[in-house]
Amino acid sequence: MKRFFAVLHARNLEFLRDRSALAWNIILPFFIVLGFAFAFSGGPRDLFKVGVYRGNPSEQSDIAFLKTKYVQFIPVDNLQTAQRKVEHHQLDMLLDVGPPTRYWINTDSPNGYVLEQMLRGSGAETFERNALTGREVRYVDWLAPGIFAMNMMFSCLFGIGYVIVRYRKNGVLKRLKATPLGAFEFLTAQVVSRMSLIALVTTIVYVGCDLLIDFTMHGSYIMLAFTFTLGAVCLISLGLLTAARFASEEFAGGVLNVLTWPMMLLSGVWFSLEGTHPWVQKIAQIFPLTHVVNAARAIMLDGAGFVEVLPQLLVLGVMSAVFLGLAAALFRWE
Amino acid sequence: MPAIIEVCDLVKHYPKVQAVNGVSFAIEPGICFGLLGPNGAGKTTTIEMMEGIQKPTSGSIFYKQQPLGRQFRNEAGIQFQHTALPDFLTVKDALRLFHSLYPRSADLEQLVDLCNLRELLSRDARKLSGGQRQRLLLGIALVNDPSVLFLDEPTTGLDPQARRNFWELIRATKARNKTIILTTHYMEEAYTLCDEIAIMDHGRVIARGTPNALLQQHFKHVFLRLPRADFSVPLENFPFTVFESDGYVEIQALDVNESIALLLKNNVPLTRLEIRPPSLEDLFLELTGKALRM
- Compute CA distances B167 → A314, B33, B170, B175, whole Å: 60, 14, 5, 12
- When pLDDT is cut at 50, 70 and 90, the band that residue A38 belongs to is low
Which pLDDT does position B126 carry in this prediction?
85
The answer to whether B87 faces chain A, any CB pair under 8 Å, is yes
Task: Tell me the β-bridge partners of B226.
Answer: B249
**Residues of B in Cβ contact (< 8 Å) with A10:** 86, 89, 93, 97
User: According to the CATH classification, is domain A48-132 in 3.40.50.880?
Assistant: no
- Compute CA distances B253 → A334, B82, B257, B261, whole Å: 52, 42, 9, 12
B72-126: pLDDT as tens digits: 989 999 988 777 888 888 999 999 999 988 988 888 888 888 888 888 899 988 8
C-beta neighbour count of A113 within 10 angstroms: 15
Per-residue pLDDT, averaged over A87-110, amounts to 84
Which pLDDT does position B293 carry in this prediction?
45
What is the phi/psi pair of residue B208, to 5°? -150, 140
For residue B86, say if its preceding peptide bond is cis, omega within 30 degrees of 0. no
Which pLDDT does position A65 carry in this prediction?
82
Name the burial class of residue A164, with classes exposed (0-12), middle (13-18) and buried (19+) by CB atoms within 10 angstroms of its CB: buried
Q: Where are the domains of chain A?
A: 48-132, 139-330
**Residues of B in Cβ contact (< 8 Å) with A172:** 83-86
- Could you tell me which residue, B38 or B63, shows the higher pLDDT? B63
Which pLDDT does position B290 carry in this prediction?
56
Q: Which of A87-91, A94-98, A235-239 has the lowest mean pLDDT?
A: A87-91
Res. A41: pLDDT tops 70:
no
A contact test, residue of B63, B92, B97 with most A CBs within 10 A: B97
Q: What is the ipTM of this complex?
A: 0.77
Per-residue pLDDT, averaged over A279-303, amounts to 88
- Please answer yes or no on whether A174 and B97 come within 8 Å at the CB atom: no
Which pLDDT does position B294 carry in this prediction?
43
Residues listed for chain A: 334
Res. B8: pLDDT tops 90:
yes
What's the mean pLDDT when you consider all of chain B? Answer: 86
Q: Is the pTM of this model over 0.95?
A: no
- When pLDDT is cut at 50, 70 and 90, the band that residue B61 belongs to is very high
Res. B32: pLDDT tops 50:
yes
Which pLDDT does position A57 carry in this prediction?
66
- Could you tell me which residue, B166 or B90, shows the higher pLDDT? B90
What percent of chain A has a predicted confidence (pLDDT) above 70? 89
Res. A24: pLDDT tops 60:
yes
